[in-house]
Amino acid sequence: MKNLFGLKLNDLEEYFISINEKKYKASQVFEWLYHHRIYNIDDFTNIKIDIREKLKSVFTTEMIKIKKFEEGIDVKKYLFELLDGNYVEGVLMHHDYGYSLCVSSEVGCNMGCKFCESGRLKKVRNLEAYEMVEQIILIEDQEKIRIDRVVVMGIGEPFDNYDNVVDFIKIINEPKGLALGARHITVSTCGIVPKILEFANLNLQVNLALSLHAPNDEIRNKIMPINKVYNISQTLAAIKEYLEKNNRRVTIEYVMINMVNDSDDNAYELANILKGMNVYVNLIPYNETNNLGFKKSKRINEFKNILLKCGINTTVRREFGGSISGACGQLRSKEV
């Protein structure tokens, strides 16, 4: 059985057409799910009983569960239990402008970044689109809030689960559904070049972030195995193509790790490779985990100032959740 939360509006329209019903019924179903927040198909009262029965014979609205959560200042971290017993995480952050939610895209991750907790546990499987949508729905319902921004930066590499992530974006972007504006959705990739190029052609107008984390191949090879498949120059060439096709500024993420990538020379080198590109650098204070031995850099401000002096737009990411297993994958890591 398919989960209704994994369907795009046009998938559901096609279903209704295939059973000789009017396609506007798809909009009615979306209204129940995303506006009224009614998930029991029997309660879709403006849809005739025999059609509800048909719906029930092919679709479910079964939900993943919140297994536990941890709370800090302006941040709440959730451990979700999927229907097959696997776990993923989501992090809700409270900003001045509202709430943002960081969702996971895979159970585990195969990218193996040396500093990242999620990568310690290999990928078990992709998340289905409905499992990503339900992370949002569950938290909105439980907290009685509306989420303004969604970032696909939780456990997993979104472009290693490309089709489901693209469906997820289309579902939450749908005006008749959650209606999250494209500009309020961010996808972060470690740099799977063919998928960056494919994504560029979709022109979805969402925000793209690249986890670069190093100014040269020597350092990047040591901390991010993906760099041995697509090196920095190939990756930045793909970003340039994305910029040409989408005309949307790209975020370059750079996690600041003590003595690994935080020297003055590294900053100058980074400024040099990004020169002239429509990007901005988001420096991420490294979130230390118990298991990996990397330390947070103490040179974030110096590093930022060099980039600024070189004309590169740079911000420092606000730290959330250092006290609460805030680092990617930590909550799940304790569980499995």
In sequence order, which residues have a C-beta less than 8 Å from that of residue 197 and are 6 or more positions away?
238, 241, 242
| Residue number with CB closer to ligand SAH (29 or 102) | 102
89 as an active site residue: the answer is yes
Would you give the binding string for ligand SAH spanning residues 276-315, x where CB under 6 A is met?
A: --------x-xx-x--------------------------
3-class SS of residue 3: strand
CB 3 within 8 A of CB 61: yes
> What angle, 0 to 180 degrees and rounded to 10, lies between the N-to-C axes of helices 193-202 and 162-173?
30
Interaction residues for ligand SAH, span 52-71 (CB under 6 A): none
Q: How far is the CB of 149 from ligand SAH (least distance, A)?
A: 15
102, 109, 116, 328: the active-site residue: 328
Q: Does 261 bind ligand SAH (CB under 6 A)?
A: no
Q: How far is the CB of 9 from ligand SAH (least distance, A)?
A: 27
CB 129 within 8 A of CB 171: yes
Number of residues that bind ligand SAH (CB under 6 A): 19
| Residue number with CB closer to ligand SAH (9 or 214) | 214
| The two structure tokens encoding residue 140 | 């909105």
In sequence order, which residues have a C-beta less than 8 Å from that of residue 57 and are 6 or more positions away?
none
**Which of 13, 128, 253, 262 lies at the binding interface for ligand SAH (CB under 6 A)?**
253
89, 128, 134, 157: the active-site residue: 89
Residue type, 292: L
**Which of 150, 327, 332, 333 lies at the binding interface for ligand SAH (CB under 6 A)?**
327
Distance CA 332, CA 328 (A): 9
What does each C-alpha distance from 126 to 24, 61, 130, 293 come to in angstroms?
31, 19, 11, 28
**Which of 180, 236, 255, 283 lies at the binding interface for ligand SAH (CB under 6 A)?**
255
**Which of 3, 100, 207, 211 lies at the binding interface for ligand SAH (CB under 6 A)?**
211
Q: How far is the CB of 238 from ligand SAH (least distance, A)?
A: 14
In sequence order, which residues have a C-beta less than 8 Å from that of residue 290 and are 6 or more positions away?
none
Q: What DSSP element (H or E) covers 306?
A: helix 300-309
102 as an active site residue: the answer is no
Would you give the binding string for ligand SAH spanning residues 156-195, x where CB under 6 A is met?
A: -x------------------------------xxx-----
User: Which parts of the chain fold into alpha helices (H)?
Assistant: 9-18, 24-30, 49-58, 129-143, 162-173, 193-202, 217-223, 232-246, 264-274, 300-309, 330-335
Contacting positions for ligand SAH (CB under 6 A):
111, 113, 115-117, 153, 157, 188-190, 211, 253, 255, 284, 286-287, 289, 327-328
